[in-house]
Amino acid sequence: MIVITGAAGFVGSCLASRLNREGFVDLVLVDDFSVENKKQNWTGLQYAEKIDRNVFFDWAVGKGNQIQFVFHIGARTDTTEFDLNILNALNLAYSKNMWDLCVSEGIPLVYASSAATYGLGENGFSDDYAHIRDLKPLNPYGQSKQDFDVWALEQPAAPFFWAGLKFFNVYGPNEYHKGRMASVVYHAFNQIKANGSLNLFRSHNPDYKDGEQQRDFIYVEDVLDVLVFLMHKRNNSGIYNLGSGTANTFRHLAESVFKSLDMEANIQFIDTPVDIRDKYQYYTCADMRKLRSIGYDKPFTALDEGVNRYVRDYLKALKNY
């Protein structure tokens, strides 16, 4: 059996679908399945068991010889969440329990960390261990991911194979439920369809022109390729960046969405809200050398191509992955 936490969410449900396509149907889906607007993400999947996240560890007792791999993708991913009890329970304590389970039962583990750990990027975007403890996340969500990464590196006992993946800005199908936390591509598509125009945040940094703020955007299918690669490889444990390795501007992304809709770009700029202005990232870009060094050699999807596929194959048709 392959366990996927967060299986009703964005990346987790896409991963389950990808594994189904590759012939893996003995899946254990773990999440809070009571959330109605996530239902379309998992109802068409093939799986062996569907377990509520609150009872998973009770269910897992004595099943170590049946579980072949754990993808711990589930987390509280809202960057505006300030309830530390929620973040500590779902992002830190739950992940520690999963780690301990995989250690005691000899199960390989891949878990989702986040590029939110890098904060403003003042210490760069290298996944070299020498830099990890110096990172300064901008919000409690990023700090919860940072805290677990540091904790994992300090453990005297570890799963025989484990990998923590610092996801950068992932976009793609199955994020329809995410609301404000959905990708810029998703919000741009909906705003353009509704208004024929798109608002982007004005730059409040003299080093960047309006719309020239940059992010490392990665298409979800590239994320899935890396997850499956690690499932088969099962060596070279550690923490890895998972982005495209390329920084693209918001203007470029916006123009790509307009192009995918066969429309002329119509972009306006609005002030970045004051409450997030001093914590706004103007540049992110994953250093991908470590993942490349262990043999992952597949090229990452260019932004224009990824946006076009997402808009054409999924958003226009309201399809899931």
pLDDT of residue 111: 97
pTM for the whole thing? 0.95
Amino acid at 262: D
Show me where the domains of the chain are located. 2-172+217-245+284-301
Task: Name the DSSP class of 272.
Answer: P
Q: What is the DSSP string of 76-124?
A: ---TT---HHHHIIIIIIHHHHHHHHHHHHT--EEEEEEGGGGTTSTT-
pLDDT of residue 80: 59
Q: From first to last of its 321 residues, what are the pLDDT tens digits of the chain?
A: 999 999 999 999 999 999 999 999 999 999 999 999 999 999 999 999 999 999 999 999 989 899 999 999 987 655 555 666 676 677 788 999 999 999 999 999 999 999 999 999 999 999 999 888 899 998 888 899 999 999 999 999 999 999 999 999 999 999 999 988 899 999 999 999 999 999 999 999 999 999 999 999 999 999 999 999 999 999 999 999 999 999 999 999 999 999 999 999 999 999 998 888 888 899 999 999 999 999 999 999 999 999 999 999 999 999 999
Q: What is the DSSP string of 167-223?
A: E-EEE-TT-TT-GGGS-HHHHHHHHHHHHS-EEEEPP-STTS-TT--EE-EEEHHHH
Half-sphere exposure (Cβ direction) of 25: Cα atoms closer than 13 Å: 5
The CATH H-level (homologous superfamily) assignment of domain 2-172+217-245+284-301 is NAD(P)-binding Rossmann-like Domain (3.40.50.720)
Does the active-site annotation cover 178? Answer: yes
Residue closest to 3 by CA, chosen among 55, 62, 61, 73:
73
CA distances from 79 to 122, 235, 256, 317 (A): 19, 32, 26, 29
Are 207 and 266 in contact by the 8 Å Cβ rule? The answer is no
If you compute the radius of gyration of the chain from its CA atoms, what whole number of angstroms results?
19
pLDDT of residue 280: 87
Give the other-Cβ count within 10 Å of 75's Cβ: 24
CA distances from 120 to 66, 206, 207 (A): 42, 16, 14
pLDDT of residue 275: 81
pLDDT of residue 181: 87
Task: Name the DSSP class of 313.
Answer: I
pLDDT of residue 20: 98
Residue closest to 75 by CA, chosen among 180, 176, 4:
4
Set 47, 118, 141, 186: catalytic member: 141
pLDDT of residue 82: 60
Are 225 and 277 in contact by the 8 Å Cβ rule? The answer is no
| Contacts of 103 by beta carbon, 8 Å cutoff, 6+ apart | 155, 157, 158, 159
pLDDT of residue 201: 95
C-alpha span between 11 and 77 (Å, rounded): 12
Set 50, 63, 178, 233: catalytic member: 178
Residue closest to 6 by CA, chosen among 178, 180, 146:
178
Q: How far apart are the first and last CA of the chain?
A: 22
C-alpha span between 193 and 190 (Å, rounded): 5
C-alpha span between 301 and 293 (Å, rounded): 19
Task: Name the DSSP class of 283.
Answer: B
Task: Name the DSSP class of 65.
Answer: T
pLDDT of residue 16: 98
